[in-house]
Amino acid sequence: MQPNDNAFSVFLSDEDATIAFGAQLAKAIQPGLTVFLDGNLGAGKTTLTRGVLRGLGFTGRVKSPTYTLVEPYTVSSLYFYHFDLYRFNDPSEWEDAGFRDYFNPNSVCLIEWAEKAQGQLPRADWLIELAPEHEGRRLQLSALTPLGLACQNTLKSLSI
């Protein structure tokens, strides 16, 4: 699939709308999903992730993994990993950190700044791009694999 095939976008007016949309995304997520989150600093990547986790039933604190590189969460039997690779200087740092084992059929991995580990990461199932628009942000979701497309079809069936 090409990045622009099987894509849709939605306008999110504020932080609450971003969290609410993240909760909708949670209803479509399947184990094994890898998601690249793309957007400038402050675009809402961690806010969207917070919404996904809330939608999955996680009630604890959700923080940016900028300094820890990864924040792990366990929700029911799902392992959820939120990565922020902004501080990487070289793509090989991803391999050196031992993150490859986090990507498995029982986990969902959301990665901010995936381009910092280009050539090292597994292929994304979803690419979510966030960009400022008017007073809010525009989110574009592209399904890049059959799993990504299946999850996206589930999302569309929820009448987003």
10 vs 22: CA distance, rounded Å: 12
121-130 residue pLDDT tens: 999 999 999 9
Domains belonging to the chain, first-starting first, are: 7-157 (3.40.50.300)
With bands split at pLDDT 50, 70 and 90, how would you rate the model's confidence at 77? confident
Q: What is the pTM of this model?
A: 0.89
Q: Considering the chain, what is the average pLDDT of its residues?
A: 89
23-75 residue pLDDT tens: 999 999 999 999 999 988 877 889 999 999 999 999 888 888 877 889 999 88
Place of tokens 């960009």: 131
101 vs 118: CA distance, rounded Å: 17
pLDDT score for 4: 47
